[in-house]
Structure 1
């Protein structure tokens, strides 16, 4: 069986989309026996970012371009035909010409619910291409039961065509008690003292403006004195976020790190006193699970897929309600027993998810399409 995977997101620092493909591909290459996997990267150098097993069964190829139009109009259709693929695995966007079975990953359809959170260009692309993939794909992979129901309802897709493959935290996200390393990461990002941590690309859906409002209110009321560390690269519609912070008297205590490596992120999770995730929409929401895997207590939103992922291992708030967010943050961070309990529950909950399990279900989906 010949399986092609469009791996152009590897190395583009796109957050969850890249994390998904990187971990999925690494685990699939460990599980395959007689399958041949064709990995298509923008640049052959990007293949070094993945640890690949079963190298005899893996074929690595390059699109030789980062241009999406050339990738989908020329290179991908040519490779499908030349490599005689049985299955092509795509993420979000459809194939121009369907020459084999198509399996498509759609993490979520947040743009259908919150179009105002997207640039006009991204919204138009999503509105055209993601429904097209949903209809073109012989099978759809998504990352939660919430997303499965959402995709099915919105696009009229038979639920039996949609397979849930939960995400997982990388093995790098674990409890780290090396105090020298934890001290080094604090110095690297100029973090002095205790801090709250939030992680996610800077874009409106992550709801950072309300988190900043809650944080500033708590500082003004002298209810907390921890700093706030924000990890994530600039995505879109983020200028208002910086304007708001820069006008605050606590601007020096809100630290933006931009994108960081997994190694540094694991250390930041471990060093944080509390992880706060105020997103208003997630197909899965990896950061809370990553934090739980590090034993970091989590306070997060009570909507979309997030409660499905966190179970009973997090304190939940209404992300639209700043007062509720403030209350949950302050009552958690100032309660040592609660901090310890959440750390224990989070570690236990994180064991329910693994990339090996995700890869096994994905391989079964591949095989089910050609038998």
Structure 2
């Protein structure tokens, strides 16, 4: 079977779509060595936005026509209005579920164009049942067209305490600390973690390490979390690392007391599983896809009650039995989800069409 994937996000591992593309391609080649797995990358000629639109609506369908694969797969929310469209993966529908994310009329027009296009897909893959429900609700795609395939997580690399300490010292992080990893937009709900921190007595308070691209812009979509920490008197307890390398990310996981995942909306969310693979207990928001993804292995809390988050942080910091139970449950959950399994299920979707 000849499989052709749209390589728009090839090499962009800092993005969720880029991670999905790279991990899926590698796992497909392991799962089906007898298949020809090929990725078509867009040319760079018009500038980022025009390049992307031209590729999706002209370059990609022409490439599919020329190469004539058994199955073509767009592994992110996109598709051509004309031409062949077999499989599309939709990771989330933030722009539909949270209208503030599509306030820009140009972005809103693009989303409507893509929504029309993906309705033409023969099958749609969703990362979670929660994402599948959104696809049916917002895009009016028939449920029988949608296949739910969870993402995978890699086994955690072995990192020594000494190696971890080098990264912590470089960033000014002291143990114990909680980690948040991700972007800084408002749906990620970092504010609840900072407010919870402020409710913990200084003697029991861990640091909060906010790792990832968190610009603190002070806009509706990009709140100024640094200003909030200052206003609550915990600015000395919050470390904003900025974007981190893969090696540093794993070191930060390895040294963390717990992961905080307070996001209000996720199509999937890999960070809780990555933390679980490192033996780090997880406190997460009980909403969107997170309960499904964590599979009973995280402590789930309302996304808007800092008092409950503060108490959970205190308990996990002081109760070794509660901590050990979450660590064991998390390790088991992470072991259930692999990229090889994701690839095998994706191949089953391809075989429905080939």
Normalised by the length of structure 1, the TM-score is 0.85
Structure 1: gaps of 5 or more residues: 43-61
Alignment size in residue pairs: 346
Contact 1:310 1:349 in 2 (8 A): yes
Contact 2:11 2:22 in 1 (8 A): no
Question: In structure 2, what is the equivalent of residue 186 of structure 1?
Answer: 168
Question: In structure 2, what is the equivalent of residue 340 of structure 1?
Answer: 324
Distance in 1, Cα, partners of 2:32 & 2:154: 20
CA deviations 1:268-296 (Å, max 9, x no partner) are 11100111100001111211111011100
Question: In structure 2, what is the equivalent of residue 32 of structure 1?
Answer: 32
Question: In structure 2, what is the equivalent of residue 217 of structure 1?
Answer: 199
Contact 1:211 1:325 in 2 (8 A): yes
Question: In structure 1, what is the equivalent of residue 208 of structure 2?
Answer: 228
CA deviations 1:215-240 (Å, max 9, x no partner) are 2232xx33632111111124783243
Question: In structure 2, what is the equivalent of residue 53 of structure 1?
Answer: none
Question: Structure 1 residues 232, 6: CA separation in 2 closer, same or farther (over 3 Å shift)?
Answer: same
Normalised by the length of structure 2, the TM-score is 0.89
**Partner-residue secondary structure (3-state), 2:240:** strand
Q: RMSD of aligned C-alpha atoms?
A: 2.3
Of 347, 350, 354, the match for 2:338: 354
**Partner-residue secondary structure (3-state), 2:213:** coil
Question: Structure 1 residues 292, 228: CA separation in 2 closer, same or farther (over 3 Å shift)?
Answer: same
* Pair 1:255 & 2:239 matched: yes
The 5 A counterparts of 1:1-150 are 1-42=1-42, 62=43, 66=48, 67-90=51-74, 91-98=76-83, 100-118=84-102, 120=104, 124-125=108-109, 127-150=111-134
Distance in 1, Cα, partners of 2:20 & 2:254: 22
Question: In structure 2, what is the equivalent of residue 50 of structure 1?
Answer: none
Structure 2: gaps of 5 or more residues: none
Contact 1:3 1:87 in 2 (8 A): yes
Distance in 2, Cα, partners of 1:144 & 1:280: 15
Question: In structure 2, what is the equivalent of residue 299 of structure 1?
Answer: 283
**Partner-residue secondary structure (3-state), 1:351:** helix
Distance in 2, Cα, partners of 1:106 & 1:16: 11
